[in-house]
Structure 1
Amino acid sequence: MKLERKHALVLLAIAAWNVVTYLRFIKALMDTEGRPTGYYVAHTILVIVNLLIAVLLGTWGVRAYKAAKASQSSPV
């Protein structure tokens, strides 16, 4: 499957959105007190998984953007 530039930009936007929202979530998580340990463990795992997803989507987005740029500049 060949991804176009618009697909790459969507992947990069979703990755950026995940990073921004989950960094804010980390700050909110650090500001909470008096919760059971399981609460912190579950939410920490959630944050880690979503940041890994953001890294994966960002990597795919960069690769797709570069591939689209290369195919656009090459003569057909």
Structure 2
Amino acid sequence: MKLERKHALVLLAIAAWNVVTYARFIKALADTEGRPTGYYVAHTILIIVNFLIAALLGTWGVRAYKAAKASQAGAPQNSSV
């Protein structure tokens, strides 16, 4: 499957969204008090998993973007005059 530049940008946008939303979630989790330990453990695991997903999607997005850029540079230019 060949990923185009638009696919790479979507992957990068989703990765960035995960990082931004879960960074905010960390602050909200730190501000809570009086919850059972299991609450903090479960939410910490969710945060870690989502950061790993963001890293994976970001890596795929960067690779797809570079590959699309390389294939665009190697393709003949359409010059219709």
TM-score, reference length from structure 2 = 0.88
Deviations 1:13-69 (A, max 9, x none): 000000000000000000000000000000000000000000000000000000000
**Residues 54, 6 of structure 1: alpha-carbon distance in 2 compared, 3 angstrom cutoff:** same
Note the C-alpha offset of 1:12: 0.1
**Residues 48, 16 of structure 1: alpha-carbon distance in 2 compared, 3 angstrom cutoff:** same
**Residues 29, 69 of structure 1: alpha-carbon distance in 2 compared, 3 angstrom cutoff:** same
**Residues 42, 74 of structure 1: alpha-carbon distance in 2 compared, 3 angstrom cutoff:** farther
Instruction: Give the total of aligned pairs.
Output: 76
Unaligned runs of 5+ in 1: none
Unaligned runs of 5+ in 2: 72-76
Percent of pairs with identical residues: 91
Which of structures 1 and 2 has the bigger CA Rg? 2
Distance 1:73 1:67 in 2: 20
* Cα root mean square deviation, aligned: 3.3
Runs of 4+ deviating beyond 2 Å? 72-76
Note the C-alpha offset of 1:74: 15
Q: How is 1:1-76 mapped onto 2 (pairs within 5 angstroms)? A: 1-71=1-71
Distance 1:66 1:30 in 2: 38
